[in-house]
């Protein structure tokens, strides 16, 4: 399995986790504002990766992956805020943060390789 498929499958699995955490935060913690931001950015990562696969050019491909990378960074911020505001336990935060950070590292690697033209336009 190539790196792009790995990042796509990991981002989908992460998005599913984000949806579950969002439901939990709304239903159990009555937290709606920050969790909604996390939901938007956390599910947007995979959507942008999927869009990138159908990019019309290398430039379009890279632009979508950079958006996914930015959404990943934003999600890390919302997770940290939820944790530091006592909405997430240390275990919940650590697990979600690790998954998001792994996706961030993969996206960084893919964008670097694509810039160096080692990855053909998908």
Chain centre to alpha carbon of residue 69: 7
Question: pTM of the prediction?
Answer: 0.91
- The burial of 70, by beta-carbon neighbours within 10 Å (0-12 exposed, 13-18 middle, 19 or more buried), is given as middle
Listing DSSP states for 42-109 in one string gives HHHHHHHHHHHHT-SSHHHHHHHHHHHHHHHHHHHHHHHHHHHTTSS-HHHHHHHHHHHHHHHHHHHH
* Per-residue confidence in pLDDT tens, the chain, 122 aa: 576 699 999 999 999 999 999 999 999 999 999 999 999 999 999 999 999 999 999 999 999 999 999 999 999 999 999 999 999 999 999 999 999 999 999 999 999 998 887 555 54
pLDDT value for 34: 98
Q: What is the pLDDT of residue 122?
A: 46
pLDDT at 120: 53
């Amino acid at each position: 399995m190539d790196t792009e498929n790995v990042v796509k499958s990991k981002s989908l699995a992460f998005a599913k986790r984000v949806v579950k955490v969002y439901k939990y935060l709304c239903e159990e913690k009555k937290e709606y504002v920050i969790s909604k931001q996390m939901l938007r950015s956390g599910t947007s990562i995979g959507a942008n990766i999927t869009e990138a696969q159908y990019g019309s050019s290398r430039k379009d491909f890279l632009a979508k992956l950079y958006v996914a990378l930015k959404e990943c960074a934003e999600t890390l911020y919302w997770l940290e805020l939820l944790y530091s505001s006592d909405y997430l336990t240390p275990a919940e935060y650590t697990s979600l943060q690790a998954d998001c950070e792994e996706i961030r590292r993969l996206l960084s690697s893919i964008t670097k390789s694509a810039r160096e033209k080692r990855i053909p336009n998908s």
